[in-house]
Structure 1
Amino acid sequence: MIPQFDLYKEKWSVQSDDVIKPGLTAIQEALKLVGNPEQELQVVHIAGTNGKGSTLTFIEAIAKEHGLRVGKFMSPCILDVHDQIQVASMPITSAEMDFVFEQMQQGGLSGKLTDFELLTVAAFLHFVNSRVDVALIETGMGGLLDSTNVVTPIVSIIPSIALEHTKFLGNTIASIAHHKAGIMKQNRPVIIGEMSKEAKAVIYEQAHMKKASVLELGDQFYIESTTAGEMYTNDENGLTLTIVKRKMKGPHQAHNMALAITAFFEVATALNIPVILQSVTAGVQRATVLGRYEDVLPYVILDGAHNPASAEKLVATIREDLPEESITFVVGILADKDVEAVLRQLEQVSDCFYFVDIDNPRAMPAEELLQLSNAKEKYILQNSITFIKEQSRMQNRTIVSGSLYLLAEIRSALLSDDL
């Protein structure tokens, strides 16, 4: 379910299925009916288990500093469907969504697609209507059979690979890597982050078949901490760049930043624009993303650590940023995640957990989360908003984590209240 998406479907009598149907045939046929907008776009395509949204946000910030008009398609939403489709960092408006729905209605798309496929078409249409210079496209799930995989990108990016969505992608790293590698296109470069040998073997095999050059973090480009800041080095162009400070905290964000800088060189080449180093550093220093170690109230942080890999990164960030502080967690997670592994990670930095129910049919009940927790202090929380505001007032460091759906609920409620 995509919040507020049904309002437009009902208004314009455009039907779609609230199910997952991996495959490209349906969306390819639908895109033909609306003039193949995806073929008019300059695209950066990104797949991976973690780091997708942050990497795209870094690229967006760098591109904006270079004066480019940027479109961005992400999932899932933080607040509602509008923030999944953005141009110039502004969510699509109701009027703009009405316009693309009118285009899709006139194209005869009703009943032909799933919700996410329909939303993907809407994003492509909006980016063409808005005349973006570059479109940053994040896969919904996997890559090979994801509805976004109809584009021919300037460059593909795979920040990380770990077990996820095993029902659809397979239960081995190799099978999941195969799906992620599916976004690579013939003779187009791919940029990859740190990952296991098993995952890299699949990536390189697919890249060889598609004659796609591989730019790997730690091989063709590097990021390392120095006394002056973080130093980015790129052997391909002989560049060395020092980043003094990032708003997006955590050692993993340094890696995402390096991927983004490398990707922007490919974008600049494709668009035939010069890379301004001052604009690169300004962009990565200012970049922020909702729900990624986000300060939403004093002493309250939102972070969507919903799988073991992202939980591990959150723990590393806490140890770096809050080494002496006592942490209280407010947690809600979807039942199809590796819940126990996530909890074991978070329990390394806190012994106090409050579990909440999420308004989502896939959510694990708070009572079950409580039973799985090994924390010394663990409770079920009924009124999370009141509790979080009181924690902020009392200056008790609180981190809300788990599902992005939980973050959307809490963030919306906190920001709409008179605090």
Structure 2
Amino acid sequence: MKITGFDTYKTRFGIESRSVIEPGLERIERVLAALGHPERHDKIIHVAGTNGKGSTIAFLKALCETHNLTYGAFQSPAIVDVHDQIVVNGTPISEHEMNSIVEKVSKVEEAKTLTDFELLTVCAFLFFQQKEVEMWLVETGMGGRFDSTNVVSNSTAVITSLSIDHTNFLGTTLDDIGSHKAGIIKQKANVFVPESIYLAPIEKEVEAKNALLNMIAPLGEEIEIALLGEHQRMNASLAVAAFQSLVDSNPGAIEQALKTAYIPFRMEKIAENVYLDGAHNLESAVKLAETIKKSFKGQSIHLIMGILADKEYKEVLKALEEVADKITFVEFSHERALDANRLVELCRIENYDLKKVEDIVINLTNDGKTSTFLTGSLYFLTEWRFKNSQ
């Protein structure tokens, strides 16, 4: 399996963008203007939120497919490599196509002032414009207001959830974080949020932008959806509501989309009783624990966990210990990976061990009494999947 990182293209075309997080839109707006404003499109669904963004976009992709609507999706982080962050109609951008796009961007002198994510955002929007796709599905990288994706215009906003995350950049309260997420709301545009979300910062932005706030209830239990977990009924409902605000929908096509939506690393079943789920913060860990309690009663639960040091790892571990009969803590290579020995120190259950990511081999011969969940950081899951594809 060949992995081509974004640095390969930067080196090839002499771009020296920076692998840092620098919120702000001035740099990317100048580059997009020089390229003729490829970010301007009439059907864009912009998705922000602490959790649920990827799942909501998965339902939106399926809705586009069942309604024969062409789409481009820009998401992060990468699952395998940079190409799967820019997808048109289910197919990641090819190396040949990325070469062509990066070469065009490299001719804009100010592209050298961009961060890596800003540069990738420019490439995605330029690619979608060239492909003339009908619907753009855009996921914020972090926050919203100052995220590089927020250069899009005329977009319909979806805010999936609010909880504490990325406190170094977004603040330490729900009002701070909500203000960042609500920053994607555009003038007089539709905004879709769960009926249970913390509303104060969203309502403030809605009033300032004269936008239309839509409070959405989760789908009923009788409706079949592909993704496990009660929270997915909320994500599915948000996707349907946002989609229907832009497209004449068909009930049969909606039903089919809900049954076929797929997202890597979100309760992704890779074998009988073996799942990948990127529960990387407290909210997603609690939801994973709730799903296990409801859908895996009577099973012995083995969690295989690797997480980043800048996440709420103590709280995540505490939430997952409640449903675990055994935990394997994993050392993986990401620069922000938490030393797995720290999790060993904190672990309160007796049945645990510690392994390197390359030593994690899943026994696919299952007795039907044990369910295994690889969880924590998406970077851990990505690294494990790549090493197990060799």
Q: Same fold (TM over 0.5)?
A: yes
Counterpart of 2:229 in structure 1 is: 250
CA distance in 2, matches of 1:251, 1:195: 14
Counterpart of 1:388 in structure 2 is: 361
Counterpart of 1:61 in structure 2 is: 62
Superimposed CA distance per residue, residues 367-415 of structure 1 (whole angstroms, 9 cap, x where no aligned partner): 1121122222121113x455433x323544211000000110112233x
Counterpart of 1:234 in structure 2 is: none
* Aligned pair partner of 2:251 in 274, 277, 287: 277
TM-score (norm 2): 0.95
CA distance in 2, matches of 1:154, 1:25: 19
Matched, 1:224 2:220: yes
CA distance in 1, matches of 2:298, 2:195: 29
Counterpart of 1:359 in structure 2 is: 333
Letter matched to residue 379 of structure 1: D
Preserved CA contact (<8 Å) 1:73 1:138 = yes
Preserved CA contact (<8 Å) 1:355 1:369 = yes
State the Cα RMSD in Å: 1.5
For structure 1, list consecutive stretches of 5 or more residues without a partner in the other structure.
230-242, 269-273
Query: 3-state SS of the aligned residue for 2:352?
Result: strand
Superimposed CA distance per residue, residues 181-231 of structure 1 (whole angstroms, 9 cap, x where no aligned partner): 0000000010001545xx30111111011111111124xxx5322xxx1xx
Counterpart of 1:309 in structure 2 is: 283
Matched, 1:410 2:384: yes
* Aligned pair partner of 2:353 in 352, 360, 379: 379
Letter matched to residue 220 of structure 2: E
Query: 3-state SS of the aligned residue for 1:126?
Result: helix
CA distance in 2, matches of 1:10, 1:110: 13
Letter matched to residue 217 of structure 1: I
Q: Aligned runs of 1:320-331 on 2, under 5 Å?
A: 320-331=294-305
Preserved CA contact (<8 Å) 2:272 2:366 = no
Letter matched to residue 388 of structure 1: V
Preserved CA contact (<8 Å) 2:43 2:154 = yes
Counterpart of 2:268 in structure 1 is: 294
Counterpart of 2:307 in structure 1 is: 333
Query: 3-state SS of the aligned residue for 2:103?
Result: helix
Cα distance change, pair 194–404 in 1 and its aligned pair in 2 (3 A): farther
Cα distance change, pair 397–388 in 1 and its aligned pair in 2 (3 A): farther
Superimposed CA distance per residue, residues 149-172 of structure 1 (whole angstroms, 9 cap, x where no aligned partner): 011244100010000000000001
Counterpart of 1:23 in structure 2 is: 24
CA distance in 2, matches of 1:299, 1:410: 18
Superimposed CA distance per residue, residues 310-331 of structure 1 (whole angstroms, 9 cap, x where no aligned partner): 0111111112221111111111
* Aligned pair partner of 2:342 in 354, 364, 368: 368
CA distance in 2, matches of 1:16, 1:386: 35
Q: Aligned runs of 1:4-403 on 2, under 5 Å?
A: 4-40=5-41, 42-196=43-197, 199-218=198-217, 222-225=218-221, 229=222, 243=223, 245-268=224-247, 274-382=248-356, 384-389=357-362, 391-395=363-367, 396-403=370-377
Query: 3-state SS of the aligned residue for 1:79?
Result: coil
Query: 3-state SS of the aligned residue for 2:40?
Result: helix
Letter matched to residue 303 of structure 1: D
Letter matched to residue 141 of structure 1: M
Preserved CA contact (<8 Å) 1:294 1:303 = yes
Preserved CA contact (<8 Å) 1:158 1:191 = yes
Preserved CA contact (<8 Å) 2:30 2:110 = no
CA distance in 2, matches of 1:373, 1:33: 53
CA distance in 2, matches of 1:336, 1:169: 14
Superimposed CA distance per residue, residues 333-383 of structure 1 (whole angstroms, 9 cap, x where no aligned partner): 00110001101111111131111112111111111121122222121113x
TM-score (norm 1): 0.89
Letter matched to residue 54 of structure 2: G
Query: 3-state SS of the aligned residue for 1:406?
Result: helix
For structure 2, list consecutive stretches of 5 or more residues without a partner in the other structure.
none
CA distance in 1, matches of 2:146, 2:65: 31
Counterpart of 1:233 in structure 2 is: none
CA distance in 2, matches of 1:82, 1:371: 38
Q: Percent identity?
A: 39
CA distance in 2, matches of 1:359, 1:193: 36
CA distance in 1, matches of 2:34, 2:125: 13
CA distance in 2, matches of 1:206, 1:40: 22
CA distance in 2, matches of 1:344, 1:330: 14
CA distance in 2, matches of 1:252, 1:71: 25
Preserved CA contact (<8 Å) 2:225 2:258 = yes
Counterpart of 1:236 in structure 2 is: none
